[in-house]
Structure 1
Amino acid sequence: MSRDSSSPSLISALVHHYDDLVDLLRRRFGDRGFARDVMQDVCVQLLEQPPKAAVHTPLAFLRRVSTHLAIDRYRVEQGRRAWVESMAELPEQAAAQPGQEEQVAARQDLDALIDVIENLPPRCREVFVMHKIHQIPQAEVAQRLNISRQMVEKHLKAGMAACRGKLQSPERS
């Protein structure tokens, strides 16, 4: 590691002005512990990577370096804090597992809907399955089946009415 002749003067300036630099950062960022941590980072940086060019005003250089490191560190801590706060808002579990009764009821609803769809008239069933199950746009369904869009809409309305009727029927309860 090659040292520039300015490094010893920077280190001595850092030692001489340490308290002033800590106070500068404390006033700007509001936390003395944070300011001391940043100054420790400045010391490490100067020892590991001394400036390549001569520094003519060591105090101004130290102020700039310490302020830039403090800003970087503050941004990182704000990002972490925001992440932790957003995680605190998430529920412990993604969703509660449905109980046995809810699973049975859902399976019965699904079976009833399958039965209704299977008992639709053939063209109605074909349109309904293409659009609602396979998510094919109505225009494409009309084109594939060589029928008008109005006919597609008519079949979809009939299929939806049949499904709705089955799910709302009193015999389900």
Structure 2
Amino acid sequence: MPFDPAKPSLLSTLVRHYDELVDHVRRRFGDRGFAREVVHDVCVQLLEKREPQEVRTPLALLRKISHDQAVDRYRSERRRQAWIVEQPEHFDAVCDAPSPARQYEGERELERLVQAIEQLPARCQMVFVMHKIHQLPQAEVAARLGISLKTVEKHLKLGLAACRAHLDLSERAS
């Protein structure tokens, strides 16, 4: 393309009217930093693409290009922000499953509890298992075993105390 000094190129017009173009974008979008980035993007576009042959009003065209670039950038940023907000936090997600060490601890504690229940007297063991493991109401346990409600309460109290004592002894031994 031959150089005609009477017809300024878009790039030279952008350089000459840089501040005016930045202010034009800033007035519409409010952020001077954003406006500078947009005008810089327009400059890169002009450097990368071939300039159109006949431009009657280069400043008006640059304003239009800058405005369109700003709108595209603004929309793109809004979509990106919306996507970030919608995405659940997978990066910091913590697994609900217990760690292998905690699983081992739980298994050991369960074994100690089973040992404690096995060491209870037969009647106390039956009351304890029916109420605590099978979750039968105390009145139903009493009816099934043919004992009073007070006796059920006494066996539960003894069973709980024996289990606690066994677990405490097992923890101290570990």
TM-score normalised according to structure 2 size:
0.49
- Bigger Rg, structure 1 or 2: 2
